[in-house]
Structure 1
């Protein structure tokens, strides 16, 4: 070992900072106990202990500059009194490189160094507006761990990058990573007396190689998600295929940015985490890893401090709530919306409407148009907590028995409907209805004004077999099963079609409130509601169907863009009268069940019969010159015949009734005859 020399250090930044001729160490000690650094060689063997004395102390910060050591050949921990602990500012954690499950001993984790000199190749955060974002939430390990993922580096950052072509095919341009910083996946009840005695012995015999005296102890459970106190400055080592998590994470971000995909990281902070510490963590990831945003979870978050930090002026900051009156005083709206609401309201109400609950139309109206001039609004119908989309239409009760908690964990408030059978079913009618319901749910998500977020695998019907809390399932229950791409190919194709349609129609994602006025000068309001009569919605509590028309501008801004969406979550079919658009005809483009558009030339009206529990999306297509002439000719002819009395009250004759309606009419006639 090279001879070391101890000098006065710098208090900031806290943690370990590598310099040319040594390393600056800085730690917080709020007690009067002696404290310092424990050095290790590469591996477990202890190397040297350095005590901080009073001349190394400034306030409650103890710091020293150590000459003669390099980051390439040592690891470290801090100690205060008898307590050895990992530097909470460590840029890398050593000792947890292998994902663990089963029986394990407590590992001696150490702080390491980020030695990566990375070339970003002129890439930078993308700064996509909320209204242009298609978000996708995933867990790095479970996303590609299943053998069906067909990636070579399963369950890693590199494995995720192998799925970039898939994400682009789907239409995703923003991924939200569940905790991807370092955390201990094995959980114990608490540090027992024997373990505390071993730590005390370790401090007293600092220069000796220690052996654990006890048999390995079984972990209480596995935590695959990481929503716990963690080592927030370091990427998770077991998510690295290369053995260098810092470089691999940066490489993943760079590749995603090159392909037009943002990276948003989730952070969970228990309530005892200091608010200043949280701010430093976010700064670190923004500066060192060029992430595009953060989704903050916890009960005591410094939201106003974070939202007003100049460094974060152009990154997404997502949370359940913000103190907007503090962040934007005097009612001023930001020029760029960086804050984003992430709430369960959309999920709960849309699930209720999907299964046909009563009195949901007004809530449905609200969520479909909901935007905020100060914040983005992120919508989702399924997330990591709760049922997947497939399970939402396949189970009415949670089935968390495998979690080992007596099925008491996870929410009981699922708002689900199993379509007639609990769990897997061989009945064709049940399976078809489930597929249709999944498509209906996707229809809600991608036609609402807010930013849509998909949970990984929902686009092709991934199932967790009724488990709505897979935090400890590092197996096929918790992993994404990519075989759904073939078994549920119709759902995947529908999801892609919806995303593409949304992107091609700006009126579906304006990013500003719809006014229900003729804001684009097309002669029609930007938003209007309809029902069995055009321009008149039927919002009674017992109704479950509504039509919504949007009027905007096409991409070249030279023509109107007309979109009409008929939603019918009733178990009966309903006929919608389509509003008449001058020189346009309604054309069905996307539907969850084939529906018939009917023209009544005499009334100059079009109708659509919408099947039970289905959605139809139509666009107003401009008539060709020939079609206009033909339409005008028919109208002139009908008017002439009407005036001469040739036609009297035969308007129904021009409207062809669907087969079911005809049969019902015949039945009614035969009953009357009897």
Structure 2
């Protein structure tokens, strides 16, 4: 710390750290703006993707004598609501520190600006100080101190902003801008996705692990991955000796007890949250620790999570992941949680930083005071998907984007009402057809039957009650409103009849999601029936309960094959994912409306209180461009067989069954006649069947028949 550095003051316009490096007097590096900082790669990491597998090599120190800049200029701008002594602390690799106080000459409002020039500045880490408080920069683009997952269980961790930044070759990468009507979302937790040994990846629980799973994601057919919070945060939470939950911590592991201002993110702030599980000696009392695996807490929002990097550089790891996903046609959506008190302009800065610096395609925002109008009016974000829980009517004029529909919300109570319908509850038919058709003009809607919170899809048909005892809260945490049914046995069973019913119910649920007009969302593992053992609040389960087990038996493979079929069917046929909401009108005068409903008689659906059976027709003549096939979706959620009527087609067309949730997928059987000569069909109890129009090819001996893609399950 004996180097001589030049200290100057400036009046900043916004918070952030700006770095400028110089190789010599005549070669000045580009001065970078917030979100676009760029210096020599101090972590010296190079990533290559070979044959869809990650090959990672750690290079020698890029800051060799040849590469080291002769001098650097670093501009610090901090928003500090104080009249106390304040400034910047620089730390060298041995921990020695030097303080540089802010000055009134460099103050604008509550912003302080300080500029340092000299050699080796960017080899240091930094913090701000305000009186006796040490503050890690909430705008730090990389944070040091939280690299090892769970290390805070045994010691309090200190955090530091990283000044050095990494060059990265994006190779002409840019966001994909896949239209919402063509999108299929896939949610995952970075660590839980590949942490289980059965994942088969080299770098488990990391961004690199996701890259290794790209071939699987491509084969599945999804168009975007939605990542649970992967910004930097301390996953170790602490509660007092009595095991009481401090004020501000809800029962879903969401920490709201941190400082109300992002600028107050000091070294100890992350420790003032509730935890349990492993006893730790802390002074003269014991504290208990548990892990927040979900990340719904205040964090260092500008930095990717270091524990998710296999190569020691979260910046490089995350960028490499985005680039490789984009090469394979898969978008990246990142989830953020903002607790109460976070400034709206700060939220906007966070979103813009990730869009500009990391090329992400969208954000999913949870929390309080979401700045919907600021996000909608920001020109940089006009092509970025913005996913919020819901919108108010007064927001609609702002979020409507006539060029690229980019705002997204959850489709109301789709999950809850469709789960009730799935298990046979009455008085739901009107909600069912509403959710199936809903596709507002102003924004897209997301349909899902399971997410990170609540039961997994398999558990929703296997458990009637939550089983959260492992969370250490006497099963009091997590919702009691799961709208689930265990199919006759609570939890694990070997009874074939129960397993067969559960399998059918899972396929029914996935049919609801993938055959509705909104944006389908599948949470990782649900595509093959993964279980969380009845735990509907796995935020602290960093183990096999919370991780995805990739071992698949015939039960799982059957569900996965059906999902791939539905995804392929949806992507192939535009009528199944229209840009505009269907009108239930024959506005083309072709004899069929774009969407119609049918019951035991064609064109006469039953919407009564007790109705659990309906036929839905989507007419392919209304698809954009070339005429598409038409589809008849026969749905019976009653437990006994029912009859439905197929509307008559022209003489050269017939209805052909292409799928049935009670069939075992992928096995052709010629014994079933799939050209429907009768206008009346019988659909099994708790069953969805899909029919498609096909032209009749008259051959000697009668019309050509197409075998079914499945067979009836043996009882």
- After TM superposition, the score normalised by the length of structure 1 is 0.86
Question: Aligned match of 1:180 in 219, 230, 243?
Answer: 230
Provide closer, same or farther for how the CA distance between residues 80 and 479 of structure 1 changes in structure 2, counting only shifts above 3 A.
same
Q: Is the alpha carbon distance of 1:71 and 1:234 closer, same or farther for their aligned partners in structure 2, counting shifts above 3 Å?
A: farther
Higher helix share: 1
C-alpha contact 1:507 1:552 (8 A) present in aligned 2: yes
| Counterpart pick for 1:530 among 598, 617, 620 | 598
- Residue 607 of structure 1: aligned partner: 680
d(CA) in 2 for partners of 1:625 and 1:613? 35
1:475 corresponds to 2:543:
yes
Alignment of 1:33 with 2:84, yes or no, is yes
Q: CA deviation at 1:353?
A: 0.4
Which residue matches 1:157?
A: 207
Alignment deviations for residues 477-530 of structure 1 (CA, whole Å, 9 cap, x no partner): 000110136551100101101111111111111021111223455421111101
Superposed CA RMSD:
2.5
User: Which secondary structure state, in structure 2, belongs to the residue aligned with residue 176 of structure 1?
Assistant: strand
Distance (Å, rounded) in 1 between the aligned partners of 2:383 and 2:444: 13
Secondary structure of 1:271's match? coil
Aligned length: 609
Instruction: Evaluate the alpha carbon distance shift between residue 529 and residue 53 of structure 1 in structure 2; reply closer, same or farther with a 3 A threshold.
Output: same
1:587 alignment counterpart: 656
Query: In the alignment, does 2:113 pair up with 1:63?
Result: yes
Shift of 1:236: 0.1
**Alpha carbons 2:641, 2:683 under 8 Å: kept:** yes
Q: Which residue of the partner structure matches residue 40 of structure 2?
A: none
Match of 1:247 among 316, 322, 329: 316
Tell me: CA distance 1:441–1:600, structure 2 relative to 1, closer, same or farther (3 Å): closer
Q: 2:366 aligns with which of 297, 305, 308?
A: 297
| Aligned 8 A contact 2:634 2:644 in 1 | yes
| Of 464, 468, 480, the match for 1:396 | 464
Partner of 1:346: 414
Once the two structures are TM-superposed, the CA of residue 299 in structure 1 deviates from its matched residue by: 2.0
Residue of structure 2 equivalent to 1:638 = none
* 1:274 corresponding residue in structure 2: 343
Residues 657 and 674 of structure 2 are in contact (CA less than 8 Å); yes or no, is this contact kept in structure 1?
no
Shift of 1:257: 0.6
Quick check: 1:554–1:561 contact (8 Å CA) kept in 2?
A: no
Q: Is residue 387 from structure 1 mapped to residue 455 from structure 2 by the alignment?
A: yes
**Which whole-Å CA distance do the structure 2 matches of 1:295 and 1:556 have between them?**
29
Which residue of the partner structure matches residue 195 of structure 1?
Answer: none
Seen in structure 2, the aligned counterparts of structure 1 residues 346 and 586 have a Cα distance that, compared at 3 Å, is: same
What is the distance in 1 between the residues matched to 2:459 and 2:121?
49
* CA distance, structure 2, for counterparts of residue 391 and residue 213 of structure 1: 39
Number of the residue aligned with 1:90: 140
Cα distance in structure 2, aligned partners of 1:505 and 1:434: 28
1:550 matched to which residue of 2?
Answer: 618
1:569–1:277 distance in 2 versus 1, CA, 3 Å: same
The structure whose Rg is larger is 1
Q: Which residue of the partner structure matches residue 563 of structure 2?
A: 495
Matches within 5 A, 1:171-210: 171-189=221-239
In structure 2, C-alpha distance between the alignment counterparts of 1:8 and 1:131, rounded to whole Å:
51
Match of 2:693 in 1: 620
Are the counterparts in 1 of residues 656 and 676 from structure 2 also a CA contact under 8 Å?
no
Q: After TM superposition, give the deviation of residue 362 of structure 1 in Å.
A: 0.9
> How far 1:621 moved relative to its partner?
0.5
CA distance in 2, matches of 1:299, 1:213: 33
Deviates more, 1:387-396 or 1:540-549: 540-549
Deviation at 1:443? Answer: 0.6
1:256 aligned residue: 325
> Aligned with 1:99: secondary structure?
coil
1:169 matched residue in structure 2: 219
Q: 1:337 to 1:421 in 2, by over 3 A?
A: same
Q: 1:259: how far off? A: 0.5
Change (3 A) 1:148 1:630: closer
How far did 1:40 drift?
1.0
Structure-2 change in CA distance of 1:137 and 1:508 (3 Å): same
Q: Residue 75 of structure 2 aligns with which residue?
A: 24
Check conservation: 1:505, 1:554, Cα contact below 8 A: no
Match of 1:371 in 2: 439
The whole-number CA distance in structure 2 between the counterparts of 1:494 and 1:522 is 33
What is the rounded CA distance, in whole Å, between the counterparts of 1:173 and 1:598 in structure 2?
32
Which sits farther off after the overlay, 607-616 or 333-342?
A: 333-342
- Name the SS for the 1:220 alignment partner: strand
Residue 115 of structure 2 corresponds to residue 42 of structure 1: no
**Pairwise CA distance, 1:101:** 6.0
CA distance in structure 2 between the partners assigned to 1:16 and 1:336 by the alignment: 33
Measured after TM superposition, the shift of residue 189 of structure 1 is 4.0
The equivalent of 2:298 in structure 1 is 229
| Secondary structure of the corresponding residue to residue 380 of structure 2 | helix
3-state SS of paired residue (2:618): strand
- Matches of 1:416 and 1:32 in 2, distance apart? 56
1:4, CA displacement in angstroms? 1.2
Mapped contact 2:306–2:314 kept (Cα < 8 A): yes
How far is the alpha carbon of 1:575 from its aligned partner?
1.5
Q: Distance in 1 between matches of 2:76 and 2:334?
A: 28
Maintained 8 Å contact 2:158/2:267: no
How far 1:199 moved relative to its partner? Answer: 8.5
Matched, 1:130 2:215: no
Aligned partners of 1:307 and 1:327 also within 8 Å: no
Is the contact made by 1:506 and 1:554 (CA closer than 8 Å) also made in structure 2? no
Shift of 1:286: 0.7
Q: In the TM superposition, what is the alpha-carbon distance from 1:9 to its structure 2 partner?
A: 3.1
Say if 1:495 and 1:54 are closer, same or farther in 2 by CA, change over 3 A. same
Among 182, 194, 198, which residue is 1:144 paired with? Answer: 194
Query: Offset of 1:563 from its aligned partner?
Result: 0.3
Q: Which residue of 1 aligns with 2:382?
A: 313
Are the structure 2 counterparts of residues 71 and 166 from structure 1 closer, same or farther at C-alpha, using a change threshold of 3 Å?
farther
SS for the counterpart of 2:352 is: helix
The answer for the alignment partner of 1:423 in structure 2 is 491
Asked whether the 8 Å contact 1:526–1:550 carries over to 2, the reply is yes
Residue deviations 1:194-220 (CA, integer Å, cap 9, x gap): xxxx989xxxxxxxxxxx995896453
Preserved contact between residue 328 and residue 334 of structure 1 (Cα < 8 Å): no
User: Which whole-Å CA distance do the structure 1 matches of 2:397 and 2:209 have between them?
Assistant: 41
The CA distance in 1 between the partners of 2:680 and 2:206, in whole Å, is: 52
Structure 1 stretches of 5 or more lacking a match?
A: 192-197, 201-211, 632-658, 660-674
Structure 1 residues 86 and 332: CA distance shift in structure 2, 3 A:
closer
- Provide Cα deviations, 1:553-600, integer angstroms capped at 9, x if missing partner: 498945452100100010000121211110211111011124966888
User: In structure 2, which of residues 504, 526, 546 is the aligned counterpart of residue 436 of structure 1?
Assistant: 504
Q: Is 1:80 the equivalent of 2:125?
A: no
- Equivalent position of 2:243 in the other structure: none
Contact kept? 1:263, 1:292, Cα under 8 Å = yes
What is the CA–CA distance in structure 2 between the aligned matches of 1:135 and 1:148, rounded to whole Å? 23
Moved more, 110-119 or 279-288: 110-119
Deviations 1:439-494 (A, max 9, x none): 00001110000000000000000100000000000000000110136551100101
CA contact (8 A) 1:114 1:246 kept: no
- Residue 404 to residue 213, structure 1, CA distance change in 2 (3 Å): closer
Deviation track 1:278-315 (CA, whole Å, cap 9, x = no partner) reads 11111111110011011111121111111111111111
Could you list the per-position Cα deviations for residues 347-385 of structure 1 after superposition, in whole angstroms to 9, with x for gaps in the alignment?
011100000001111110101101100100111100000
